[in-house]
Amino acid sequence: MIQLSKDLNKRFGKGFSYRNLRYMRRFFQFYKLGKIRSELFWSYYRALLLVEDFKIRDRLQKEAIEEARVASGTFVKNTIFSKK
């Protein structure tokens, strides 16, 4: 995987460190394509990958999605009201 990291960085630029490739591999192993939620950023998923227990990870993912929705709604409201 170290050589793959070097090859990918050479071809596509930064972002393919050995550590990132390990996270990507683990992400692929843990999540089916249908279970990936667009509401969460890669940094959230990286943190969730540290949780081994599926049930706990699933609960934390749902909580993170809800928090992201609340934060997004608050941001939109604050933006609208600040323009008045």
CB-based contacts of 66-69 (< 8 A; 24+ apart in sequence): 68/39, 68/40, 68/44, 69/39
Task: Report the chain's mean pLDDT, rounded to a whole number.
Answer: 81
pLDDT at 79: 47
One-character DSSP codes across 2-66: HHHHHHHHHHH-SS--HHHHHHHHHHHHH--GGG--TTS-HHHHHHHTT---HHHHHHHHHHHHH
CA distance 68 to 64: 6
pLDDT digits (tens, 9 = 90+) for 13-25: 998 999 999 999 9
